[in-house]
Amino acid sequence: MVEYVFSDKTGTLTQNIMEFRKFTAGMKNFGTNEKPTVKQESNVNFHDPNFHQVLNGSGKDSKDLDHCMTFLSLCHTIVVDKNTNAYNAASPDELALVNFAKQMNYEFKDIDKDDNMIVDIPKKGLQKYKLLHVCEFTSSRKRMSVIVKDLNDGGKIKLFCKGADSIIKARLSKTSIISPEMAATQ
């Protein structure tokens, strides 16, 4: 007779490996199923020949992509190892997101003694964001958020939030869920 069953419900099949492959910024999708042609950061397996073209362009798509990449470099609880400059992350998915941003030259550098998150951003250089608060991920919230004061943009207070689609979508306004073209006609 079996009295006890022990199981490992997380990581058994996935081995807790997360690879960044595709994403959406604004109304554009990025990432292909093709094999990357350049060296990748750990937990990143991304290829899209149009990424840098859009990023270096002008207009709404470029602005949306820049905003998304800045978000990825800020919305996390990564700690930088002072000896190796390696990222220490609470989860493989958080590491994948921040490593992808780094690979695309949106590099989180560290948090200074004044709680400023320092990020190196293309065309802008080192940028500082005062970390005001972190709302940690929990299984009940199914999201994590950071509140920062953008010291590069007149001190605007910004909230960055990431999490489960069902949780995030439920908190979006009607116009943010539908395309801008449809919103203009409603």
Q: What are phi and psi of 156, to 5 degrees?
A: -60, 140
Give the integer Cα–Cα distance in Å for 116 and 169.
29
Active site residue 8: yes
| CA–CA separation, 152 and 164 (whole Å) | 30
68 token code pair:
């998304």
To 5 degrees, how large is the angle CA 42–CA 48–CA 49? Answer: 125
Q: Which two tokens stand for residue 130?
A: 């005062």
Helix (H, G, I), strand (E, B) or coil at 185: helix
Q: Which of 8, 81, 114, 165 is catalytic?
A: 8
- The residues carrying an active-site annotation are 8
